[in-house]
Structures are given as structure tokens and as C-alpha cells.
Amino acid sequence: MNHDQIRMRVQNLLGENVLQEDFETPNIAAKDICAFVSAKMMALLSSSEEVRQQFLGLGISVPGVVDERGYVSEAPEFGWDDEPIKDYYDLFFQEGKVIVENDVHLAVIGEAWRCKLKKETMIYVHLGYGIGAALFIEGKLYRGAHFSAGEIGHFIVNPETVAASGRAGSSSEQGSFESHFGLLKLLEEKGNREKEENLLRHLAYGFVNIITLMDPNIIVIGGEMPLHIDGFLDRLTNHLKNFLRNIPEISITPYGNDGPLYGACRCVLQQLFSSNLVGEHQGG
């Protein structure tokens, strides 16, 4: 779920869609959104008694930092801070187990599942209105000591862009990297090749930081930004060549916006059946 659209998918054990529905995100309080989505999902399940009887659980994909309790913070899209999203769904949804996870974390789990990765180190980078990453290290999702690993929207790639007040990242503020070099800034500068190239160069600075720190086998890029820049991957790679000797395999996700949906399905299955395909979470 994001600020403008909620996408619901009921999937089988292979991650294939059997029921689906999309609708606009209502502009209401967090608890009311959870009640609304729960009612929508129960209505969707009621459309097929066979599917409802076999239903195992609900995976919720949200922006922001999600802790072990399912509380969501630092989610500027919704203005949430320490919001007990899982508790709300446990209250309103009675059809099975509920899991709440960060959307980019779920995207990397979905990618790993669909690509059958096991021991590789993969970084998933989402480039949209927000910028975030997820770390899949030797077959395991790394969430960090405070569940905020991958919050690269707060990277500093140009000190002049840092707000005078210092720390960004409250429930209503974007980080320096995503606010100055994300999709919104790109759309504002669309048609200006020089400014577009400057934005790409600063994105490359962020990728250099990621690659230098993690030395991944694979980087997968999702989000809308690559769709708005002609020759995005080649131009980004050309910038990286100026700074790096070893550049990992970099690709655009073939799953579009469906990565988090696959990841949500996989997390439910993993919790119920303890499969080692994706591995256990690390950190936190």
C-alpha cells in the first residue's frame, strides 16, 4: 500500500495470482485505513469460498521503518510515526496470520524468490518519490539493529542539500537524497538534459556508496525513475565507471511494482512453513 493506491493480491503457493483488486488509498487515519483494507480483503476472499477456505495469511507492504512489533515510523507518504499497523490489522482482520513489512524489504524477498537466489548478495534499490534499498546478504534479508537498514533516502551525496535543521526523517520529512534527487525533482527538471545528467550523477554517487560498502553480486533497480530517463541504465553505469573498478551486475526488475506482492506472499509462507529458500531475517 502507498499514498495513492492499494493493490491486493491473493496468491497460491507458487506466487500466482488467483484473486486481485486495486483501489485508491483513502485519505483517512491509519487505524481507519487498516479497517478499510481488512474489509476489502475479506470481501475479496468471500468472492471464492474455495480460496477463502485455503487462505493462510495476510502480508502487508508499507513504506517506512517497520520494527519487530509491526509498528511503522518514518513514513512521510502517510505521516506515520510509531503507528501500530500490525495491531490494527490483528484487530480488524480475522481470516489468518498478519505480517507487516517494509515495501522495499518485501521487494528484495520477492526478487530473490522469483529468481531462486540462495547464497548471493543482492541489493534492491527503489527509485521513486522515495528512495530506499533492501539488503539480501548471502541468502538472508538484513534489517539492521534498529530495523532501518537500507534507508538510503537519507544518504548525503551533496552536503549543500542537507537541511539546516540537521536530521531529516520524521514522519513528515523526506531524507536529503530522495528529496533532492528523487522522482519529484526529476519531474520538475524534465526536459533539461543538463539537470537530468546532474541528477543521474548524484544517483551514481549513492550507488558508489552502496557498492563500496556491500560489494554485492547483483543490484536490482525498481521504481518509476528509470522509466522517465532515456538510456537510464547505460548512463548510470557510465558514471559508475568513473569511480569503481568492480561493478556488479545491475538490472531493472522484470516484475515492475509486483516485487513487494511476491515478497508478502513469500513471508507468509516462510512464517508458516519455515522454508530456508529466502532465509531468516538478520539484525534487530
In tens, the pLDDT along 28-66 reads 999 999 999 999 999 999 999 999 999 999 999 999 999
In a domain, 266, yes or no: no
Distance CA 257, CA 240 (A): 26
Lowest mean pLDDT among 39-43, 74-78, 201-205, 251-255: 74-78
In a domain, 261, yes or no: no
Give the model confidence (pLDDT) of 207-227 as tens digits. Answer: 999 999 999 999 999 999 999
Say if residue 86 is in the same domain as residue 146. no
In a domain, 47, yes or no: yes
Which of the pair, 241 or 190, is modelled with greater confidence? 241
Say if residue 14 is in the same domain as residue 93. yes
Query: What pLDDT is recorded for position 175?
Result: 82
Say if residue 236 is in the same domain as residue 146. yes
In a domain, 281, yes or no: no
Say if residue 114 is in the same domain as residue 251. yes
Strands 218-222 and 122-127: parallel
- To the nearest whole percent, how much of the chain has pLDDT over 90? 77
Q: Would you tell me how many other CB atoms lie within 10 Å of the CB of residue 116?
A: 7
Give the model confidence (pLDDT) of 147-168 as tens digits. Answer: 999 999 999 998 887 764 455 4
Question: Where among 38, 70, 102 does a domain terminate?
Answer: 102
Say if residue 133 is in the same domain as residue 201. yes
> b/e string for 190-223 if b means 16 or more Cβ within 10 A?
eeeeeebeebbbbbbbbbbbbbeebebebbbbbb
Query: What pLDDT is recorded for position 276?
Result: 46
Say if residue 120 is in the same domain as residue 250. yes
Ordered DSSP codes for the chain: --SSEEEEEEE-TTS-EEEEEEEEPPSS-HHHHHHHHHHHHHHHHHT-HHHHHH--EEEEEESSEE-TT--EE-BTTTTBSSB-HHHHHHHH--SSEEEEEEHHHHHHHHHHHHHT-SS--EEEEEESSSEEEEEEETTEEE--TTS-TT-GGG--S-GGGS-TT----STT---HHHHHHSHHHHHHTTT-HHHHHHHHHHHHHHHHHHHHHH--SEEEEESSGGGGSTTHHHHHHHHHHTT-S---EEEE-TTGGGHHHHHHHHHHHHHHH--SSS---B--
**Is the pLDDT reported for residue 277 higher than 80?**
no
Which of the pair, 193 or 282, is modelled with greater confidence? 193
In a domain, 140, yes or no: yes
Say if residue 119 is in the same domain as residue 133. yes
Amino acid residing at 257: N
Question: Where among 67, 102, 137 does a domain terminate?
Answer: 102
**Is the pLDDT reported for residue 125 higher than 60?**
yes
Which of the pair, 280 or 73, is modelled with greater confidence? 73
In a domain, 117, yes or no: yes
Mean pLDDT, range 242-249, rounded to an integer: 96
In a domain, 91, yes or no: yes
Strand partners, 222: 126
Place of cell 522454508: 275
Domains of the chain: total: 2
Give the model confidence (pLDDT) of 56-103 as tens digits. Answer: 999 999 999 999 999 999 998 899 999 999 999 999 998 889 999 999
Query: What pLDDT is recorded for position 282?
Result: 52
Mean pLDDT, range 257-284, rounded to an integer: 75
Say if residue 119 is in the same domain as residue 82. no
Give the model confidence (pLDDT) of 1-13 as tens digits. Answer: 988 899 999 999 9
CATH number of the domain that residue 136 is part of: 3.30.420.40
**Is 46 within 8 Å of 52 (Cβ atoms)?**
yes
Q: If 0-12 CB within 10 Å is exposed, 13-18 middle and 19+ buried, where does residue 127 land?
A: buried
Say if residue 136 is in the same domain as residue 204. yes
Query: What pLDDT is recorded for position 171?
Result: 47
Question: Where among 55, 72, 102 does a domain terminate?
Answer: 102
Say if residue 149 is in the same domain as residue 206. yes
| Per-residue CA distances from 20 to 82, 89, 258, 272 (Å) | 30, 19, 12, 22
Which residue segment(s) compose the domain that 191 sits in?
A: 107-256
Say if residue 123 is in the same domain as residue 216. yes
Mean pLDDT, range 271-277, rounded to an integer: 66
Query: What pLDDT is recorded for position 279?
Result: 44
The structure's pTM equals 0.89
Say if residue 241 is in the same domain as residue 165. yes
In a domain, 192, yes or no: yes
